[in-house]
Chain A
Amino acid sequence: MTLDLSKTLDRVHERQWALADVDWDAPGADRITDEQRPKLAAFMADVAWIEQVGARAFAALARKAEDPVLADLYRYFHAEEQRHANAELALMRRWDMLDGDEPPEPHISIRLAMDWLDRYADSLPLAVLGSAIPMLEVALDGALLKFLVDEIDDPLCAVVFEKVNNDESRHLAVGFHVLEVIGRNPAHRHAIDIAKVLLSPAIFTSLPAAMPLFTNARDNVVGMGLDERKLYDALARFDKVGQRQPDVRRNPSYLVLKEFGKMVANRSHPYHVLGDAATRIVDHYPRRLLKSPPSWVDQLTAEPVV
Protein backbone atom coordinates (compact mmCIF):
# COMPACT_ATOMS: atom_id res chain seq x y z
CA MET A 1 0.00 0.00 0.00
CA THR A 2 1.55 3.27 -1.05
CA LEU A 3 0.48 6.67 0.16
CA ASP A 4 -0.52 9.45 -2.23
CA LEU A 5 1.76 12.21 -0.97
CA SER A 6 0.00 14.99 -2.90
CA LYS A 7 -3.33 14.08 -1.30
CA THR A 8 -1.65 14.03 2.10
CA LEU A 9 -0.20 17.47 1.43
CA ASP A 10 -3.68 18.74 0.50
CA ARG A 11 -5.03 17.38 3.76
CA VAL A 12 -2.17 19.01 5.65
CA HIS A 13 -3.15 22.35 4.10
CA GLU A 14 -6.81 21.84 4.98
CA ARG A 15 -6.22 20.78 8.55
CA GLN A 16 -4.05 23.65 9.75
CA TRP A 17 -5.02 25.04 13.16
CA ALA A 18 -3.66 27.83 15.28
CA LEU A 19 -3.22 28.48 18.98
CA ALA A 20 -5.78 31.25 18.60
CA ASP A 21 -8.44 28.60 17.76
CA VAL A 22 -8.26 27.34 21.34
CA ASP A 23 -9.92 29.11 24.27
CA TRP A 24 -7.07 28.91 26.76
CA ASP A 25 -9.20 30.43 29.53
CA ALA A 26 -12.01 27.86 29.26
CA PRO A 27 -13.08 26.38 32.60
CA GLY A 28 -11.33 23.25 33.85
CA ALA A 29 -7.80 24.47 34.51
CA ASP A 30 -8.31 23.81 38.22
CA ARG A 31 -8.85 20.09 37.63
CA ILE A 32 -5.13 19.43 37.98
CA THR A 33 -4.60 17.92 41.42
CA ASP A 34 -1.83 19.11 43.72
CA GLU A 35 -0.45 15.62 43.64
CA GLN A 36 -0.22 15.66 39.83
CA ARG A 37 1.18 19.13 39.46
CA PRO A 38 4.94 18.78 40.09
CA LYS A 39 5.36 15.58 38.09
CA LEU A 40 3.10 16.84 35.33
CA ALA A 41 5.08 20.07 35.07
CA ALA A 42 8.34 18.17 34.56
CA PHE A 43 6.67 15.80 32.12
CA MET A 44 5.03 18.54 30.04
CA ALA A 45 8.30 20.43 29.87
CA ASP A 46 9.98 17.30 28.53
CA VAL A 47 7.22 16.70 26.00
CA ALA A 48 7.28 20.29 24.73
CA TRP A 49 11.05 20.30 24.33
CA ILE A 50 11.07 16.88 22.68
CA GLU A 51 8.51 18.14 20.16
CA GLN A 52 10.84 20.99 19.36
CA VAL A 53 13.79 18.66 18.98
CA GLY A 54 11.59 16.59 16.65
CA ALA A 55 10.83 19.77 14.73
CA ARG A 56 14.55 20.25 14.11
CA ALA A 57 14.81 16.73 12.71
CA PHE A 58 11.97 17.46 10.26
CA ALA A 59 13.77 20.63 9.23
CA ALA A 60 16.77 18.48 8.29
CA LEU A 61 14.58 16.03 6.38
CA ALA A 62 13.00 18.87 4.40
CA ARG A 63 16.42 19.60 2.94
CA LYS A 64 17.16 15.97 2.12
CA ALA A 65 14.04 14.88 0.28
CA GLU A 66 14.48 14.97 -3.48
CA ASP A 67 10.75 14.62 -4.12
CA PRO A 68 9.44 18.21 -3.90
CA VAL A 69 6.10 17.08 -2.47
CA LEU A 70 7.83 15.13 0.29
CA ALA A 71 10.12 18.09 0.97
CA ASP A 72 7.02 20.29 1.27
CA LEU A 73 5.41 17.82 3.66
CA TYR A 74 8.50 17.82 5.83
CA ARG A 75 8.54 21.63 5.88
CA TYR A 76 4.99 21.61 7.14
CA PHE A 77 5.73 18.89 9.69
CA HIS A 78 8.65 20.95 10.96
CA ALA A 79 6.22 23.80 11.65
CA GLU A 80 3.57 21.47 13.05
CA GLU A 81 5.95 20.03 15.63
CA GLN A 82 6.74 23.59 16.66
CA ARG A 83 3.00 24.20 16.94
CA HIS A 84 2.66 21.18 19.22
CA ALA A 85 5.48 22.48 21.40
CA ASN A 86 3.84 25.93 21.51
CA ALA A 87 0.44 24.46 22.37
CA GLU A 88 1.93 22.33 25.13
CA LEU A 89 3.64 25.38 26.55
CA ALA A 90 0.31 27.22 26.42
CA LEU A 91 -1.25 24.34 28.40
CA MET A 92 1.52 24.70 30.96
CA ARG A 93 0.78 28.39 31.21
CA ARG A 94 -2.90 27.63 31.67
CA TRP A 95 -2.04 25.24 34.49
CA ASP A 96 0.16 27.86 36.09
CA MET A 97 3.34 25.84 35.66
CA LEU A 98 5.48 28.56 34.11
CA ASP A 99 7.68 31.10 35.77
CA GLY A 100 6.19 34.18 34.15
CA ASP A 101 5.81 33.48 30.42
CA GLU A 102 9.26 31.98 30.08
CA PRO A 103 9.57 28.41 28.81
CA PRO A 104 10.92 26.04 31.46
CA GLU A 105 14.60 25.19 31.48
CA PRO A 106 15.11 22.02 29.39
CA HIS A 107 16.48 19.00 31.21
CA ILE A 108 20.23 18.64 30.67
CA SER A 109 19.72 15.49 28.59
CA ILE A 110 17.44 17.44 26.23
CA ARG A 111 19.92 20.30 26.06
CA LEU A 112 22.63 17.90 24.95
CA ALA A 113 20.31 16.29 22.41
CA MET A 114 19.51 19.75 21.00
CA ASP A 115 23.18 20.53 20.51
CA TRP A 116 23.82 17.15 18.96
CA LEU A 117 20.92 17.41 16.55
CA ASP A 118 21.69 20.97 15.58
CA ARG A 119 25.21 19.93 14.77
CA TYR A 120 24.64 16.67 12.93
CA ALA A 121 21.04 16.46 11.72
CA ASP A 122 21.74 18.16 8.41
CA SER A 123 24.56 15.75 7.62
CA LEU A 124 22.78 12.49 8.52
CA PRO A 125 21.45 10.42 5.61
CA LEU A 126 17.69 10.46 5.03
CA ALA A 127 17.61 6.72 5.73
CA VAL A 128 18.73 7.29 9.32
CA LEU A 129 16.57 10.30 10.19
CA GLY A 130 13.63 8.92 8.25
CA SER A 131 13.79 5.74 10.34
CA ALA A 132 14.32 7.42 13.69
CA ILE A 133 11.40 9.82 13.36
CA PRO A 134 8.58 7.25 13.04
CA MET A 135 9.97 5.32 15.99
CA LEU A 136 9.89 8.38 18.22
CA GLU A 137 6.47 9.30 16.91
CA VAL A 138 4.88 5.95 17.72
CA ALA A 139 6.23 6.24 21.25
CA LEU A 140 5.09 9.84 21.68
CA ASP A 141 1.79 9.47 19.88
CA GLY A 142 0.86 5.94 20.91
CA ALA A 143 1.90 6.01 24.53
CA LEU A 144 2.74 9.39 26.02
CA LEU A 145 0.02 11.60 24.58
CA LYS A 146 -2.70 8.99 24.99
CA PHE A 147 -1.65 8.54 28.58
CA LEU A 148 -1.82 12.28 29.21
CA VAL A 149 -5.34 12.53 27.89
CA ASP A 150 -6.43 9.60 30.08
CA GLU A 151 -4.83 11.01 33.22
CA ILE A 152 -5.71 14.71 33.02
CA ASP A 153 -9.25 15.78 33.87
CA ASP A 154 -9.06 19.20 32.26
CA PRO A 155 -11.35 19.00 29.19
CA LEU A 156 -9.14 21.43 27.27
CA CYS A 157 -6.28 18.97 27.48
CA ALA A 158 -8.31 16.51 25.40
CA VAL A 159 -9.25 19.25 22.93
CA VAL A 160 -5.62 20.24 22.36
CA PHE A 161 -4.28 16.73 22.11
CA GLU A 162 -7.00 15.71 19.70
CA LYS A 163 -5.65 18.38 17.35
CA VAL A 164 -2.08 17.28 18.02
CA ASN A 165 -2.89 13.62 17.45
CA ASN A 166 -4.67 14.48 14.24
CA ASP A 167 -1.43 16.01 12.94
CA GLU A 168 0.59 13.11 14.27
CA SER A 169 -1.48 10.58 12.37
CA ARG A 170 -0.32 12.20 9.13
CA HIS A 171 3.27 12.38 10.35
CA LEU A 172 3.12 8.66 11.01
CA ALA A 173 1.49 7.81 7.71
CA VAL A 174 4.22 9.67 5.84
CA GLY A 175 6.89 8.24 8.14
CA PHE A 176 5.80 4.67 7.42
CA HIS A 177 5.54 5.41 3.72
CA VAL A 178 9.09 6.74 3.69
CA LEU A 179 10.28 3.64 5.53
CA GLU A 180 8.96 1.56 2.65
CA VAL A 181 10.54 3.81 0.04
CA ILE A 182 13.91 3.74 1.81
CA GLY A 183 13.64 -0.03 2.13
CA ARG A 184 13.36 -0.38 -1.64
CA ASN A 185 16.67 1.44 -2.18
CA PRO A 186 19.26 -0.71 -3.94
CA ALA A 187 21.75 -2.49 -1.68
CA HIS A 188 24.61 -0.19 -2.62
CA ARG A 189 22.64 2.85 -1.43
CA HIS A 190 22.20 1.19 1.96
CA ALA A 191 25.91 0.43 2.01
CA ILE A 192 26.77 4.06 1.24
CA ASP A 193 24.42 5.26 3.98
CA ILE A 194 25.98 2.92 6.53
CA ALA A 195 29.45 4.04 5.52
CA LYS A 196 28.41 7.70 5.84
CA VAL A 197 27.10 7.12 9.34
CA LEU A 198 30.03 5.03 10.51
CA LEU A 199 32.53 7.57 9.22
CA SER A 200 30.70 10.54 10.68
CA PRO A 201 31.67 11.97 14.07
CA ALA A 202 27.94 11.92 14.81
CA ILE A 203 28.11 8.21 15.57
CA PHE A 204 30.51 8.57 18.53
CA THR A 205 28.37 11.15 20.24
CA SER A 206 24.99 9.70 19.30
CA LEU A 207 24.73 7.24 22.18
CA PRO A 208 25.86 9.67 24.89
CA ALA A 209 23.30 12.12 23.49
CA ALA A 210 20.46 9.63 23.05
CA MET A 211 20.78 7.34 26.08
CA PRO A 212 20.16 9.93 28.83
CA LEU A 213 17.41 11.52 26.75
CA PHE A 214 15.42 8.32 26.41
CA THR A 215 16.15 7.07 29.93
CA ASN A 216 15.06 10.38 31.41
CA ALA A 217 11.92 10.66 29.27
CA ARG A 218 10.98 7.04 29.91
CA ASP A 219 11.49 7.32 33.68
CA ASN A 220 9.53 10.58 33.84
CA VAL A 221 6.52 9.08 32.15
CA VAL A 222 6.66 5.79 34.06
CA GLY A 223 7.07 7.87 37.22
CA MET A 224 3.78 9.52 36.37
CA GLY A 225 2.10 6.15 36.30
CA LEU A 226 2.29 5.01 32.67
CA ASP A 227 2.27 1.24 32.40
CA GLU A 228 5.58 0.17 30.91
CA ARG A 229 3.79 -2.35 28.72
CA LYS A 230 1.93 0.44 26.92
CA LEU A 231 5.22 1.92 25.83
CA TYR A 232 6.22 -1.50 24.64
CA ASP A 233 2.94 -1.98 22.77
CA ALA A 234 3.31 1.41 21.10
CA LEU A 235 6.78 0.51 19.88
CA ALA A 236 5.42 -2.78 18.59
CA ARG A 237 3.68 -0.74 15.90
CA PHE A 238 7.09 0.22 14.59
CA ASP A 239 8.00 -3.46 14.60
CA LYS A 240 4.82 -4.39 12.71
CA VAL A 241 5.57 -2.15 9.74
CA GLY A 242 8.62 -4.26 9.11
CA GLN A 243 6.67 -7.50 9.50
CA ARG A 244 4.01 -6.40 7.04
CA GLN A 245 6.45 -4.96 4.51
CA PRO A 246 9.53 -7.10 3.99
CA ASP A 247 11.09 -4.19 2.05
CA VAL A 248 11.28 -2.10 5.20
CA ARG A 249 13.54 -4.68 6.81
CA ARG A 250 16.17 -4.14 4.12
CA ASN A 251 16.97 -0.78 5.70
CA PRO A 252 19.76 -1.32 8.27
CA SER A 253 18.90 1.88 10.20
CA TYR A 254 15.40 0.58 10.73
CA LEU A 255 16.66 -2.74 12.06
CA VAL A 256 19.10 -1.12 14.47
CA LEU A 257 16.58 1.44 15.74
CA LYS A 258 13.87 -1.19 16.17
CA GLU A 259 16.09 -3.20 18.50
CA PHE A 260 17.24 -0.06 20.29
CA GLY A 261 13.62 0.99 20.93
CA LYS A 262 12.80 -2.39 22.43
CA MET A 263 15.79 -2.17 24.75
CA VAL A 264 14.84 1.29 25.96
CA ALA A 265 11.22 0.32 26.64
CA ASN A 266 12.18 -2.78 28.62
CA ARG A 267 13.53 -1.62 32.00
CA SER A 268 14.96 -5.04 32.86
CA HIS A 269 17.17 -5.14 29.78
CA PRO A 270 20.91 -5.00 30.57
CA TYR A 271 21.13 -1.94 28.30
CA HIS A 272 19.81 0.13 31.19
CA VAL A 273 22.93 -0.48 33.29
CA LEU A 274 24.76 1.53 30.66
CA GLY A 275 21.86 3.93 30.14
CA ASP A 276 21.66 4.74 33.85
CA ALA A 277 25.39 5.29 34.06
CA ALA A 278 25.25 7.70 31.13
CA THR A 279 22.30 9.49 32.71
CA ARG A 280 24.12 9.87 36.05
CA ILE A 281 27.18 11.29 34.31
CA VAL A 282 25.06 13.70 32.26
CA ASP A 283 23.17 14.80 35.40
CA HIS A 284 26.45 16.10 36.73
CA TYR A 285 27.49 17.70 33.45
CA PRO A 286 28.34 21.31 34.31
CA ARG A 287 25.90 23.58 32.51
CA ARG A 288 28.53 26.27 32.12
CA LEU A 289 30.35 23.97 29.72
CA LEU A 290 27.37 24.05 27.37
CA LYS A 291 27.60 26.50 24.53
CA SER A 292 24.64 28.81 24.10
CA PRO A 293 21.67 26.94 22.63
CA PRO A 294 20.93 27.25 18.89
CA SER A 295 18.62 30.18 18.17
CA TRP A 296 15.72 28.01 16.97
CA VAL A 297 15.19 27.17 20.63
CA ASP A 298 13.85 30.71 21.12
CA GLN A 299 10.95 30.02 18.79
CA LEU A 300 9.06 28.24 21.56
CA THR A 301 6.24 30.48 22.78
CA ALA A 302 2.82 30.19 24.41
CA GLU A 303 1.60 33.46 22.89
CA PRO A 304 -1.08 32.83 20.21
CA VAL A 305 -0.85 36.29 18.63
CA VAL A 306 2.39 38.18 17.96
Chain B
Amino acid sequence: MATIATTGSASGRRALDGIVDFAGRVVGAADLVVSDVEIGQRVACIGVDQATIDAAVSLVEAGHRVKVFEDDPRLVLPRVGLIPFGRASLCARLAGSTRLGLRAVAFVPAPGAVRRRLGRMPSVMEHRAGSLHRRRHLDDRWDRRQLTPSRFDRRTPLRDDSYYRMVDAGSCELISWPVASVTTSGIRTCDGLEHRADWIVVAP
Protein backbone atom coordinates (compact mmCIF):
# COMPACT_ATOMS: atom_id res chain seq x y z
CA MET B 1 0.00 0.00 0.00
CA ALA B 2 1.24 3.47 -0.81
CA THR B 3 0.99 6.19 1.78
CA ILE B 4 1.12 9.88 0.98
CA ALA B 5 1.70 11.98 4.07
CA THR B 6 1.10 15.66 3.64
CA THR B 7 1.54 18.06 6.49
CA GLY B 8 1.44 21.66 5.50
CA SER B 9 1.78 23.53 8.79
CA ALA B 10 5.17 24.86 9.80
CA SER B 11 4.77 23.50 13.31
CA GLY B 12 4.12 20.06 11.87
CA ARG B 13 7.44 20.01 10.07
CA ARG B 14 9.45 19.45 13.22
CA ALA B 15 7.66 16.13 13.49
CA LEU B 16 9.60 14.97 10.45
CA ASP B 17 13.06 15.09 12.05
CA GLY B 18 13.01 11.32 12.42
CA ILE B 19 13.01 10.92 8.66
CA VAL B 20 16.82 10.54 8.69
CA ASP B 21 16.45 7.25 10.53
CA PHE B 22 13.64 5.96 8.34
CA ALA B 23 14.53 2.47 7.17
CA GLY B 24 12.65 2.68 3.86
CA ARG B 25 13.25 4.95 0.86
CA VAL B 26 12.78 8.72 0.85
CA VAL B 27 12.09 10.52 -2.44
CA GLY B 28 10.91 13.97 -3.60
CA ALA B 29 7.38 14.01 -5.02
CA ALA B 30 8.59 15.39 -8.36
CA ASP B 31 11.27 12.66 -8.59
CA LEU B 32 8.98 9.77 -7.84
CA VAL B 33 9.02 7.11 -10.54
CA VAL B 34 5.79 5.25 -9.97
CA SER B 35 7.09 2.05 -11.55
CA ASP B 36 9.81 1.87 -8.86
CA VAL B 37 7.13 1.20 -6.27
CA GLU B 38 6.38 -2.49 -6.13
CA ILE B 39 2.83 -3.67 -5.66
CA GLY B 40 2.20 -4.22 -1.98
CA GLN B 41 4.79 -1.65 -0.87
CA ARG B 42 3.69 1.21 1.33
CA VAL B 43 4.85 4.73 0.48
CA ALA B 44 4.65 7.84 2.66
CA CYS B 45 4.88 11.30 1.12
CA ILE B 46 5.10 14.48 3.15
CA GLY B 47 4.10 18.08 2.37
CA VAL B 48 0.93 19.11 0.56
CA ASP B 49 1.39 20.76 -2.82
CA GLN B 50 0.68 20.14 -6.48
CA ALA B 51 3.50 17.61 -6.82
CA THR B 52 2.32 15.41 -3.94
CA ILE B 53 -1.29 15.43 -5.10
CA ASP B 54 -0.14 14.47 -8.59
CA ALA B 55 2.05 11.73 -7.13
CA ALA B 56 -0.85 10.37 -5.07
CA VAL B 57 -3.11 10.29 -8.09
CA SER B 58 -0.50 8.52 -10.27
CA LEU B 59 0.10 5.92 -7.56
CA VAL B 60 -3.60 5.15 -7.27
CA GLU B 61 -3.92 4.99 -11.04
CA ALA B 62 -1.04 2.50 -11.09
CA GLY B 63 -3.06 0.27 -8.78
CA HIS B 64 -1.48 1.11 -5.45
CA ARG B 65 -3.76 1.71 -2.50
CA VAL B 66 -2.85 5.16 -1.23
CA LYS B 67 -3.23 6.79 2.17
CA VAL B 68 -3.13 10.58 2.22
CA PHE B 69 -2.08 12.34 5.42
CA GLU B 70 -3.36 15.87 5.15
CA ASP B 71 -3.89 17.80 8.35
CA ASP B 72 -3.94 21.32 6.94
CA PRO B 73 -5.98 21.04 3.74
CA ARG B 74 -5.32 23.21 0.70
CA LEU B 75 -7.89 24.55 -1.66
CA VAL B 76 -8.26 22.20 -4.64
CA LEU B 77 -10.00 23.45 -7.79
CA PRO B 78 -11.01 21.50 -10.89
CA ARG B 79 -8.72 21.73 -13.90
CA VAL B 80 -10.54 23.96 -16.33
CA GLY B 81 -10.22 23.22 -20.05
CA LEU B 82 -11.11 25.52 -22.90
CA ILE B 83 -14.80 25.24 -22.07
CA PRO B 84 -15.62 24.90 -18.37
CA PHE B 85 -17.97 22.01 -17.49
CA GLY B 86 -19.97 22.02 -14.26
CA ARG B 87 -20.59 24.69 -11.69
CA ALA B 88 -17.25 24.29 -9.93
CA SER B 89 -15.31 24.77 -13.17
CA LEU B 90 -17.47 27.70 -14.16
CA CYS B 91 -16.93 29.35 -10.81
CA ALA B 92 -13.17 28.75 -10.95
CA ARG B 93 -13.03 30.21 -14.46
CA LEU B 94 -15.05 33.24 -13.34
CA ALA B 95 -12.63 33.79 -10.45
CA GLY B 96 -9.73 33.74 -12.90
CA SER B 97 -11.42 36.15 -15.28
CA THR B 98 -12.36 38.48 -12.44
CA ARG B 99 -8.76 38.55 -11.27
CA LEU B 100 -7.55 39.42 -14.80
CA GLY B 101 -10.29 42.02 -15.20
CA LEU B 102 -9.41 43.69 -11.91
CA ARG B 103 -5.76 43.83 -12.91
CA ALA B 104 -6.70 45.44 -16.20
CA VAL B 105 -8.63 48.25 -14.51
CA ALA B 106 -6.18 48.68 -11.64
CA PHE B 107 -5.23 52.15 -12.89
CA VAL B 108 -8.81 53.45 -12.37
CA PRO B 109 -8.86 55.53 -9.18
CA ALA B 110 -11.23 54.12 -6.54
CA PRO B 111 -11.67 54.51 -2.77
CA GLY B 112 -9.56 52.08 -0.70
CA ALA B 113 -12.59 50.29 0.74
CA VAL B 114 -14.00 49.55 -2.70
CA ARG B 115 -10.60 48.41 -3.90
CA ARG B 116 -10.22 46.00 -0.97
CA ARG B 117 -13.75 44.66 -1.42
CA LEU B 118 -13.19 44.00 -5.11
CA GLY B 119 -9.72 42.61 -4.48
CA ARG B 120 -11.15 39.89 -2.23
CA MET B 121 -13.71 38.78 -4.81
CA PRO B 122 -11.57 36.34 -6.84
CA SER B 123 -10.47 34.51 -3.68
CA VAL B 124 -14.06 34.30 -2.40
CA MET B 125 -15.13 32.88 -5.76
CA GLU B 126 -12.30 30.37 -5.68
CA HIS B 127 -13.32 29.15 -2.24
CA ARG B 128 -16.87 28.79 -3.56
CA ALA B 129 -15.55 26.81 -6.54
CA GLY B 130 -13.60 24.57 -4.16
CA SER B 131 -16.71 23.94 -2.10
CA LEU B 132 -18.70 22.99 -5.22
CA HIS B 133 -15.85 20.73 -6.30
CA ARG B 134 -15.90 18.91 -2.94
CA ARG B 135 -19.67 18.61 -2.93
CA ARG B 136 -19.60 17.07 -6.35
CA HIS B 137 -17.07 14.35 -5.57
CA LEU B 138 -17.16 13.70 -1.83
CA ASP B 139 -20.24 12.04 -0.39
CA ASP B 140 -19.08 11.80 3.18
CA ARG B 141 -19.69 14.93 5.23
CA TRP B 142 -16.70 14.39 7.50
CA ASP B 143 -14.33 13.85 4.55
CA ARG B 144 -15.68 17.02 3.02
CA ARG B 145 -15.16 18.95 6.22
CA GLN B 146 -11.64 17.61 6.73
CA LEU B 147 -10.69 18.63 3.20
CA THR B 148 -12.12 22.13 3.55
CA PRO B 149 -9.31 24.69 3.88
CA SER B 150 -9.46 27.18 6.71
CA ARG B 151 -11.13 30.43 5.71
CA PHE B 152 -7.89 32.13 6.74
CA ASP B 153 -5.92 30.05 4.24
CA ARG B 154 -4.21 32.20 1.57
CA ARG B 155 -2.04 29.64 -0.24
CA THR B 156 -2.47 29.29 -4.00
CA PRO B 157 -5.12 26.73 -4.95
CA LEU B 158 -4.10 23.34 -6.34
CA ARG B 159 -5.65 21.91 -9.51
CA ASP B 160 -6.92 18.37 -9.63
CA ASP B 161 -9.88 16.34 -10.86
CA SER B 162 -9.18 12.87 -9.45
CA TYR B 163 -7.95 13.26 -5.88
CA TYR B 164 -11.36 13.85 -4.27
CA ARG B 165 -12.93 11.07 -6.28
CA MET B 166 -10.23 8.67 -5.12
CA VAL B 167 -10.70 9.69 -1.49
CA ASP B 168 -14.43 9.17 -1.88
CA ALA B 169 -13.95 5.72 -3.38
CA GLY B 170 -11.54 4.76 -0.61
CA SER B 171 -8.70 3.95 -3.02
CA CYS B 172 -6.89 6.92 -1.53
CA GLU B 173 -7.37 6.90 2.24
CA LEU B 174 -7.42 10.30 3.89
CA ILE B 175 -5.73 10.57 7.30
CA SER B 176 -6.35 14.06 8.60
CA TRP B 177 -4.44 13.76 11.90
CA PRO B 178 -1.28 15.80 12.36
CA VAL B 179 1.93 13.80 12.04
CA ALA B 180 3.59 13.26 15.43
CA SER B 181 6.86 11.74 14.25
CA VAL B 182 8.61 9.59 11.69
CA THR B 183 10.01 6.35 13.08
CA THR B 184 12.27 3.78 11.45
CA SER B 185 9.23 1.88 10.24
CA GLY B 186 6.65 4.52 9.41
CA ILE B 187 4.65 7.55 10.45
CA ARG B 188 3.06 8.17 13.80
CA THR B 189 0.00 10.39 13.89
CA CYS B 190 -1.16 12.30 16.94
CA ASP B 191 -4.15 10.01 17.46
CA GLY B 192 -1.57 7.53 18.78
CA LEU B 193 -1.41 5.19 15.78
CA GLU B 194 1.59 4.13 13.74
CA HIS B 195 1.21 3.80 9.97
CA ARG B 196 3.77 1.40 8.54
CA ALA B 197 5.46 2.56 5.32
CA ASP B 198 8.17 1.43 2.90
CA TRP B 199 8.55 4.74 1.06
CA ILE B 200 8.30 8.37 2.09
CA VAL B 201 7.67 10.90 -0.67
CA VAL B 202 8.31 14.51 0.34
CA ALA B 203 7.37 17.80 -1.30
CA PRO B 204 10.27 19.10 -3.41
Q: Are A72 and B190 in contact (CB under 8 A)?
A: no
- With the chains together, A19 CA to B189 CA distance in Å? 10
- A306→B188 CA distance, assembly (Å): 10
B192 and A87: CB pair below 8 A? yes
Near B by CB (< 8 A), chain A positions 132-186 give none
Residues of B contacting A75 in the complex (Cβ-Cβ under 8 angstroms): 9, 71-72, 178
On whether A305 and B194 interact (CB within 8 A), knowing A13-B11, A79-B178, the answer reads yes
B132-148 vs A: 1/0 string, CB under 8 Å? 00000000111101000
The interface bits of chain B over 17-31 (1 if a CB of A lies within 8 angstroms of the residue's CB, else 0) are 000000000000000
Taking CB atoms, residues of chain B closer than 8 Å to A246 are none
Contact of A268 with B by CB under 8 A = no
Q: Shortest distance in angstroms between B186's beta carbon and chain A's nearest beta carbon?
A: 8
Residue of A nearest to B190 (CB): A79
Q: Does B196 contact A (CB under 8 A)?
A: yes
B194 touches A86 (CB 8 A): no
Partner of A86, one of B140, B152, B178, B191: B191
B14 engages A13 (CB within 8 Å) = yes
Contact B11 A304 (CB under 8 A): no
- Given A9-B11, A13-B14, A294-B142, the answer on whether A82 and B194 have CB atoms closer than 8 Å is no
B15 at the interface (CB under 8 A from A): yes
Neighbouring A residues of B15 by C-beta, 8 Å: 13, 16
The dominant DSSP class at the A interface is helix
Q: How far is the CB of B198 from chain A (nearest CB, A)?
A: 14
CA distance A82 to B150 in the complex (A): 21
A80 to B194, CA, bound (A): 14
B96-147, CB < 8 A from A: 140-143, 145
CB distance from B140 to the nearest CB of A (A): 5
Of the candidates A63, A69, A80, which one forms a contact with B190 in the assembled complex, judged by CB atoms under 8 Å apart?
A: A80
CB of A25 within 8 Å of the partner chain: no
Interface SS majority for chain B = mixed
Write the nearest CB–CB distance from A92 to chain B, whole angstroms: 15
A83 in contact (CB, < 8 A): yes
B177 touches A16 (CB 8 A): no
Instruction: Please determine whether A294 and B141 come into contact, CB atoms closer than 8 angstroms.
Output: yes
Q: How many residues of A contact B (CB 8 A)?
A: 32
Contact B195 A306 (CB under 8 A): yes
Interface centre among B11, B177, B192, B196, by most chain A C-beta atoms within 10 angstroms, is B192
The A278-306 residues at the B interface (CB cut-off 8 A) are 294-296, 299, 301, 303-306
Cβ–Cβ contact B193 & A306, under 8 A:
yes
Q: Are B192 and A83 in contact (CB under 8 A)?
A: yes
B142 touches A18 (CB 8 A): no
| Nearest chain B CB to A72 CB, angstrom units | 5
A303: chain B residues within 8 A (beta carbon): 193
Answer whether residue B90 sits at the interface, using C-beta atoms and an 8 A cutoff: no
User: Is A20 located at the chain interface by the 8 A CB criterion?
Assistant: yes
A131 and B194 alpha carbons, distance in the complex (Å)? 33
Measured CB to CB, the closest approach of chain A to B57, in angstroms, equals 23
Q: How far is the CB of B20 from chain A (nearest CB, A)?
A: 17
Least CB distance from A84 to B in Å reads: 8
Tell me the smallest distance from the CB of A75 to a CB of chain B, in Å. 6
Asked if B191 contacts A295 (CB within 8 A), the reply is no
Asked whether any CB of chain B lies closer than 8 Å to the CB of A219, the reply is no
Take A63-B150, A306-B195 as given contacts and tell me if A296 and B189 are in contact as well, using a CB distance cutoff of 8 Å: no
A301 touches B193 (CB 8 A): yes
Q: How far is the CA of A63 from the CA of B149 in the complex (A)?
A: 9
Is B180 an interface residue, CB under 8 A from the partner?
Answer: yes
B188 touches A18 (CB 8 A): yes
A303 vs B193: C-alpha distance in the bound complex, in angstroms?
Answer: 7
Can you give 15 A-B contacts (C-beta < 8 A)? A13-B11, A18-B180, A18-B193, A19-B192, A66-B152, A71-B150, A76-B178, A79-B177, A82-B177, A82-B190, A86-B191, A294-B142, A295-B140, A295-B142, A295-B143
A: residues with CB less than 8 A from B are 9, 13, 16-20, 63, 66, 68-69, 71-72, 75-76, 79-80, 82-83, 86-87, 118, 122, 294-296, 299, 301, 303-306
Enumerate chain B interface residues (CB-CB to A < 8 A): 9, 11, 14-15, 71-72, 140-143, 145, 150, 152, 177-178, 180-181, 186, 188-196
- Sample of 8 more A-B contacts, CB < 8 Å, known A13-B15, A80-B191, A82-B192: A13-B14, A17-B192, A79-B178, A82-B190, A86-B192, A295-B140, A305-B195, A306-B196
